[in-house]
Structure formats: C-alpha cells, structure tokens
Amino acid sequence: MLVLGGAAPDLDAGRRKIAAALSDGSAWKTFVRIVEAQRGDVAVLDDPRRLPRAKQTKLLAVDEPGFVRAFDCRALGVAATKLGAGRERQADVIAPAVGLVLAKKVGDVVAKGEPWVEVHFDDVARFEAVKDTLAQAITISKRRVFPGPLVLERIPGQRWRL
C-alpha cells in the first residue's frame, strides 16, 4: 500500500517504514487519531470490555460433515443488516453490538453439528427471521476444497491515489 500510495519507492523501503512505525509507536498514535476523528471511544482500545454487547448469541452448526465450499456473502450481508448491523433505510439506527462472527473459512473441514457462525442479536424476532437464510448461506462439499487466491488480478502500471 505504501508503494501504491507513493509513500515508499519499493517494497523493501515500505517494509522498513512499516516496521519503524510499529516499533516507535507512531502507528498506534495514528490509529488512535483515526478513532478520535471518527468520534470513537478511544478508551475501548485499552479496554475492549467497554464495547457494546448483544443481548444474545447463538451458534449455528452445519448439518453435514465435509469441507466448506462457499459462503453466500450477499445472504450474510442481508442477514446482518436485518439483525440491525446495517441500514435498510437511511433513518434506520445501527445496533453496533449485533452481527455475525464466522468461525470457518473456505476449505476448512467441518463435522456434523460443528458451529460455523456465531450470531449476535438483540431482538429474538429478528434472529428468527434470518435463521433460515443463514442456514443456507454456507455450502458444504464432500470433496476437499481449496480456497482460491486472495488477489485475482493486478492491473499493470496503475498507481492508486487516495
């Protein structure tokens, strides 16, 4: 990112710059400034227990053993939104404690009954409304699955600026 952004001439220089920022504490100070600029509670950085907590959590398990083949990311996003983690309309209020924590990734082995997602919610009716959608948002394969590459393509000669 430093090379792409023009902050370092090459990867080695970028790595040295990152290592220096981590070791001298300037990376942490910058992160704190970012949290402050977004009106976040910087005390949470030292004490994560200050974060809001959902009223309830449920683990959803796979129905069959095998390998995680895919997730329906759109379905996961819609479910999280319906739980209150996002807005369907501009006037909707976001519930910062609700959401999904995936316990598995593509290629992982799963046993029947093993949890694959932890659902954090405040409203039981909202959970019930998304439970079936979530159950169908994971695809299990009997055959071993290998995850695809994280980077699909590079566009040569492009320099990205923020």
pLDDT at position 21 over 90: yes
Higher pLDDT, 135 or 150: 135
- Domain range summary for the chain, segments of one domain joined by +: 11-48, 52-141
Query: How far apart, in whole angstroms, are the C-alpha atoms of residue 7 and residue 123?
Result: 46
* Segment 78-109, tens digit of pLDDT: 999 999 999 999 999 999 999 999 999 999 99
Please provide the average confidence, as pLDDT, over all residues in the chain. 94
Band the pLDDT of 162: cuts 50, 70, 90: very low
pLDDT of residue 158: 64
52-141 CATH pick, 3.50.50.60, 3.30.450.40, 3.90.1170.30, 3.40.50.300: 3.90.1170.30
